[in-house]
Amino acid sequence: MLEIKGVSFTKEDTEILKGVDLTVPDGKLFVLTGPNGGGKTTIAKMIAGIEKPDTGSIILDGEDLVPLDPTERAKKGVSFAFQHPVRFKGFTVRDLLDIAAGRTLSDEELTALLLEVGLSFEQYAGRAVDSHLSGGEIKRIEIASVLVRDSKLMVFDEPEAGIDLWSFNSLIRVFEGIRDRRSATLIIISHQERLLSIADELVLINGGKVAFHGPAERMLPFIMKNDCINCPVDEKGDLIGPDR
């Protein structure tokens, strides 16, 4: 179980997270959505250890991750697919995925992995992960670098971005498969209705906090009906969810 408790974060005098509370039970698929700049990526970075909160705790299976660095968190089973993937001069797709797996993948394993993100082994295994890859290609390799780790907690930041329809369909099936097997806890940050629709729970992040969250079947129609400007707000200006 992942418990985010009272996480606040200020950078360059801007309060980016203002007390985020969220509990994600084991084996669930949570989708975080909400307007640009709401703080979704920052929450993901807090989980992966790329940024550290000023206050609050991030507890995975009873252990607070906050004192741990990104390497230690990775070893505890946390994986994070970046919103903006990093490119490396001199690494091939195979090199990067071997590093991600922590061992040398066989051709068969690599073929199966690349297929999950809609890439062919023949065309891509030997390609350099540098500026010559297109945005959608590097994004799919980024996703594969997390899938191959088989960690207990996987965070994907906008996996749909730049990905063509066919690869996206295959990716949805991969996420559904993980969800159905309950083999890992998934947190997906997304603006895509199809990804929102496969979630167990939807979490709306706005203004650096959880505006509201709930089961996808109740949340989805509500989110689709209201945009953030016309969404009902309470006396403090906070968004009002479907339950209030």
Partner 1 sequence: MDRIDSKTAGLLRTVADFDPEKFMGAFNIRSNCMSIGRRSTENIKIETKTDAPGLDINIAPGTKGEEVFIPACVTKAGVDDLVYNDFFVGEGADVTVIAGCGIHTETGEPARHSGVHRFFLEKGARVLYVEKHVGTGNEAAKKVIDPQTECYLHEDAYLEMDTSQLGGVSSSVRHTSARLAARAVLVIRERLLTDGNDRAETYFTVTLDGEDSGVNLMSRSVARGDSYQAYQSEIIGNCRCSGHSECDAILSENGRVDASPKLSANSQDAALIHEAAIGKIAGEQIMKLRTLGLTEEEAEAAIIDGFLK
Contacts from 160-164 at CB under 8 Å and sequence distance 24+?
160/190, 160/191, 160/192, 160/195, 161/83, 161/135, 162/134, 162/135, 162/136, 163/118, 163/136, 163/139, 164/118, 164/136
Residue 36 touches which member of partner 1, Mg ion, ligand ATP, none, C-beta under 5-8 Å by kind: ligand ATP
Residue 99 Cβ vs ligand ATP, minimum distance, rounded to whole Å:
26
Tokens 């890859």: give the residue: 133
Tell me which residues touch Mg ion (CB under 5 A): 41, 83
Nearer to ligand ATP, 37 or 102 (CB): 37
- Residue 46 binds ligand ATP, judged by CB under 6 A: no
Task: Give the footprint of ligand ATP on residues 83-142 (CB under 6 A).
Answer: 83
Nearer to ligand ATP, 14 or 131 (CB): 14
Nearer to ligand ATP, 92 or 192 (CB): 192
Residue 210 Cβ vs partner 1, minimum distance, rounded to whole Å:
24
Q: Are 143 and 157 in contact (CB under 8 A)?
A: no
CA separation, residue 244 to residues 125, 212, 240 (Å): 51, 10, 6
Residue 102 touches which member of ligand ATP, partner 1, Mg ion, none, C-beta under 5-8 Å by kind: partner 1
Residue 74 touches which member of ligand ATP, Mg ion, partner 1, none, C-beta under 5-8 Å by kind: partner 1
Contacts of 227 (CB under 8 A, 6+ apart): none
**Span of 35-43, 118-126, 127-135, 213-221 interacting with ligand ATP by CB under 6 A:** 35-43
Which position among 38, 56, 118, 241 is part of the footprint of ligand ATP (CB under 6 A)?
Answer: 38
d(CA 183, CA 179): 7
Q: What is the chain's Cα-based Rg?
A: 18
Pairing of strands 14-24, 2-11: antiparallel
Question: Contact positions toward ligand ATP, by CB under 6 A?
Answer: 11-12, 14, 16, 36-42, 83
